[in-house]
Amino acid sequence: MPVVDHGVADLAPIAVAAPILGAALLMLLGRRVPRLALDVAALVVAAAEVALVADVFATSTSGRVVTWVAGWTPHKGYSVGIVLVNDPVGAGAALCAASLVFLALLYSAGYIDSVHGHFHCLMLLFLAGMVGMAMTGDLFDMFCFFELMGAAAYGLTGMKVEEESSLQGALNFGIVNSLGAYISLVGIGILFAHTGSLSLPILGRDLAHQRPDALIVAAFVLVLTGFLVRAAMVPFHFWLADAHAVAPAPVCALFSGVMAPLGAYAAFRIYWTVFAPVVPVGDVRRAFLVLGATTAVVGAIMTLGQRHVKRLLAYSTVAQLGLLLLALACLTSQGTAGALLDAAGHAGVKGALFLIAGVLLDLYGTMDEAELFGRAARHRVLGWLFVAGGLALAALPPFGTGLGEAVSAEAAVSLGYTWVPAVFVAVSAATGGAVLRVGARAFFGLGRRPVEEDGAPSSDEEPDVHLRRVPVSMTVPVVALLLAALATGVLPGARSAAERAGAYFVDHAGYVSQALTGAQAHMAVHARANWAALGVGLDVLSALLAVGIAAAACYGPRLPALLALQRRPMRILRAVHSGRVGDYVAWLMVGVAVLAGLVGLPLR
């Protein structure tokens, strides 16, 4: 039995409990102290959480941190307890979540209606859910924290109770994600019946030498479903735009920046620890390359067609999640490293963009691109920050998104999938171009004034608060997030951390043996995650294309014939995104069947 390591291993579960304690404290304080004290208390809790998680992260970069909760260390290779395994990916995701929550709280300080501290309380519980899910190495524990994340998130989405679209968005979000989670739990039940374990390392070890029969495939597909719903994989993605378009801006930043990517994290964490040795690599790779590319393309097309700014950003998140899936689907450490850099960069960029969109909503009371035309001209600094965000979304070097997509594209090419870089370029260009278009119109009044037929009808939205000028506490998080996205691409430390993290993430045997015996294996890092000619070239190409798309939208001649051609497929695609929960559930079932077909049929 390995010796219990007193030290950083103890900090991991405390990092899960700390935000819960903070939330309880804020609930007690809620009605008794002034708003300022609530903001300060919440910020202190979030800052302490950042410090705690950063400590775990720093230790994890030189080896996994394994914690058997309540001291149930394995005896003869089995434990009845729950294990937390912090490798650089898990701890890094938790760090990203904690930092983003801190900045979101800073942005909200004094402005967002707190409802006696309930908003702060939910933000901290949401954080606890994200940290718990990132750290845990137990399947059922993952489900529990996944649901915690969900419950807090549904509430944060529907906080503006006066607003119909906000309530409807929260309900669609809640029903679809809950159903996904229950399908996951069915998968967990099947896997439990077969193996008698819930712990990822024990499951991985016990399944390793089995034949991939129908039970294994079904468990794989069903368990992953709930997490892929959260990761907004087509056709599970419908809820995302509904929820993102209506939640308060700082909450949107969290949803896009960490919550949805955590779904992809969980899905691939489970694949690598449990199913990697038993489900054939080729089938899984093909399935997720197909689904990832579909997600990216659908997201990009829907992004271009939006004129409700937050909804546009939401669909660009869907597109970005598709790219993330493509990178992870390479199933190599290099692809994973690329995905991590991309996800970190995207968290900063999309967070900043959502926060700026929130400022616009609070200043002008609308999210409609046409109504915003030229109105924000006096906020030049915000305008340039928004443009920078658009360029970063288009993968312009040296932003982290650019590095991530360059590394991912190289990983795909080295496997022989030469079409993947084309998807990366096209999708980044489309989403970046759409954001640049909005920036050019709203902040700089460039080009023609958009007219009614240009996009979908946008719903009226009530601002989170009414602003006359932009307070510093709102601009600081925006700048910090963009700088973080830049740092991800520039700092050599980020690159080497991503390389190591990628290597740890895909190391099935090392994960299992270290969790069960405490033996720290030597980790050889082969993946390369650096700027290379091919990647930089692709990134520059997609950034140029994005500028071109934006310019064409602003200045280009109307192309009635082309529009007529586009109109019918576009109308069908838009009709599919109906806002009706019944449709979403029907597509959810289709998604399960398609994933099962892609993974299972080649085995027959």
Partner 1 sequence: MSIYAYVVAGWLLVMGSLGIVRSRNLVHAVVCLGIAQSATYVLLLGVGYQRGAKPPVYGSAPAHPSLHVMDPVVQAMTLTDIVVSATVTALLLALAIQIRKRRGTIDPDELTAIEG
Partner 2 sequence: MSRPLRLVVFAAGAGGTAALFLLAVLDMPPFGSRFHPYRNHSVPAALAHATANVVSSVNFDQRGMDTLAEESILFASVVVVATLLRKTDDEEWRKERRGRVLDSTLLMGWILLPYTLLLGFDVVAHGHLTPGGGFQGGVVLGTGIHLLYVAGRYDMLRRVRPIRPFEWGEAIGTGAFACLGVAGVLATGAFLANVVPHGTFGTLLSAGTVPILNGAVGVEVASGVVVLVSAFLDQAIGLETAPAGGGKGGRAGNGRDAEGGGNR
Binding residues for partner 1, rule: CB under 8 A, are: 140, 144, 147, 150-151, 154-155, 158, 161-165, 167-172, 174-175, 178-179, 182-183, 185-186, 189-190, 192-193, 198, 242, 245-246, 305-306, 456-457, 459, 574, 577-582, 585-586, 588-589
Does residue 214 interact with partner 2 by CB under 8 A? yes
Q: Which stretch binds partner 2 (CB under 8 A): 18-26, 343-351, 428-436, 539-547?
A: 18-26
* x/- map, 82-121, partner 2, by CB under 8 A: x--------------------------------x--xx-x
Tokens of 512: 């299992």
Binder among 85, 89, 217, 253 for partner 2 (CB under 8 A): 217
Cα distance between residue 14 and residue 59, in whole Å: 15
Tally the residues of the chain: 604
Q: Taking the complex as a whole, how short is the minimal distance between the CB of residue 104 and partner 2, in angstroms? A: 17
Does residue 383 interact with partner 2 by CB under 8 A? no
Binder among 374, 493, 597, 602 for partner 2 (CB under 8 A): 597
* Nearest Cα to Cα of residue 297 among 388, 369, 235, 254: 235
Q: What are the distances in angstroms from CA 246 to CA 162, 249, 463?
A: 12, 8, 10
- Burial of 159 per CB tally in 10 Å (0-12, 13-18, 19+): buried
Does residue 27 interact with partner 2 by CB under 8 A? yes
Q: Which stretch binds partner 2 (CB under 8 A): 293-301, 379-387, 482-490, 593-601?
A: 593-601
Residues forming beta bridges with residue 84, ordered by sequence position: 67, 136
Cα distance between residue 469 and residue 189, in whole Å: 54
Please give the torsion angle defined by the CA atoms of residues 309, 310, 313 and 318, in that order, rounded to the nearest 10 degrees.
-130
Partner whose binding site includes residue 228, from partner 1, partner 2, none (CB under 5 to 8 Å by kind):
none
Partner whose binding site includes residue 309, from partner 1, partner 2, none (CB under 5 to 8 Å by kind):
none
Binder among 68, 107, 354, 505 for partner 2 (CB under 8 A): 68
Binder among 260, 394, 512, 594 for partner 2 (CB under 8 A): 594
Cα distance between residue 129 and residue 127, in whole Å: 5
Cα distance between residue 68 and residue 107, in whole Å: 36
Tokens of 250: 């700082």
Partner whose binding site includes residue 141, from partner 2, partner 1, none (CB under 5 to 8 Å by kind):
partner 2
Q: Taking the complex as a whole, how short is the minimal distance between the CB of residue 575 and partner 2, in angstroms? A: 7
Does residue 13 interact with partner 2 by CB under 8 A? yes
Q: Taking the complex as a whole, how short is the minimal distance between the CB of residue 28 and partner 2, in angstroms? A: 5
Q: What are the distances in angstroms from CA 179 to CA 147, 186, 227, 536?
A: 11, 11, 11, 42
Partner whose binding site includes residue 68, from partner 2, partner 1, none (CB under 5 to 8 Å by kind):
partner 2
Q: Taking the complex as a whole, how short is the minimal distance between the CB of residue 169 and partner 1, in angstroms? A: 6
User: 83: helix, coil or strand?
Assistant: strand
* x/- map, 116-135, partner 2, by CB under 8 A: --xx-xx--xx-xx--x---
Partner whose binding site includes residue 574, from partner 1, partner 2, none (CB under 5 to 8 Å by kind):
partner 1
Cα distance between residue 275 and residue 285, in whole Å: 13
Partner whose binding site includes residue 138, from partner 2, partner 1, none (CB under 5 to 8 Å by kind):
partner 2
Does residue 233 interact with partner 2 by CB under 8 A? no
User: To 10 degrees, what angle do helices 419-444 and 380-393 make?
Assistant: 170
Q: Which stretch binds partner 2 (CB under 8 A): 12-20, 43-51, 389-397, 508-516?
A: 12-20
User: 67: helix, coil or strand?
Assistant: strand
Partner whose binding site includes residue 497, from partner 2, partner 1, none (CB under 5 to 8 Å by kind):
none
Partner whose binding site includes residue 597, from partner 1, partner 2, none (CB under 5 to 8 Å by kind):
partner 2
DSSP label at 450?
A: P
Does residue 309 interact with partner 2 by CB under 8 A? no
User: To 10 degrees, what angle do helices 281-304 and 309-329 make?
Assistant: 160
Q: Taking the complex as a whole, how short is the minimal distance between the CB of residue 20 and partner 1, in angstroms? A: 15
Cα distance between residue 41 and residue 48, in whole Å: 11
Cα distance between residue 241 and residue 315, in whole Å: 6
Does residue 224 interact with partner 2 by CB under 8 A? no
Of the pair 129, 348, the CB lying nearest partner 2 is at 129
Q: Taking the complex as a whole, how short is the minimal distance between the CB of residue 29 and partner 2, in angstroms? A: 9
Does residue 215 interact with partner 2 by CB under 8 A? yes
- What amino acid is encoded at 541 in this protein? L
Partner whose binding site includes residue 220, from partner 2, partner 1, none (CB under 5 to 8 Å by kind):
none
Cα distance between residue 594 and residue 213, in whole Å: 18
Of the pair 422, 589, the CB lying nearest partner 1 is at 589
Other beta carbons less than 10 A from residue 76's beta carbon: 7
User: 518: helix, coil or strand?
Assistant: coil
* Nearest Cα to Cα of residue 339 among 412, 434, 232: 412
Binder among 72, 384, 419, 555 for partner 2 (CB under 8 A): 72
Partner whose binding site includes residue 526, from partner 1, partner 2, none (CB under 5 to 8 Å by kind):
none
Does residue 222 interact with partner 2 by CB under 8 A? yes
Does residue 159 interact with partner 2 by CB under 8 A? yes
DSSP per-residue letters across 277-336: TTS-HHHHHHHHHHHHHHHHHHHHHHHHT--BHHHHHHHHHHHHHHHHHHHHHT-SHHHH
Partner whose binding site includes residue 548, from partner 2, partner 1, none (CB under 5 to 8 Å by kind):
none
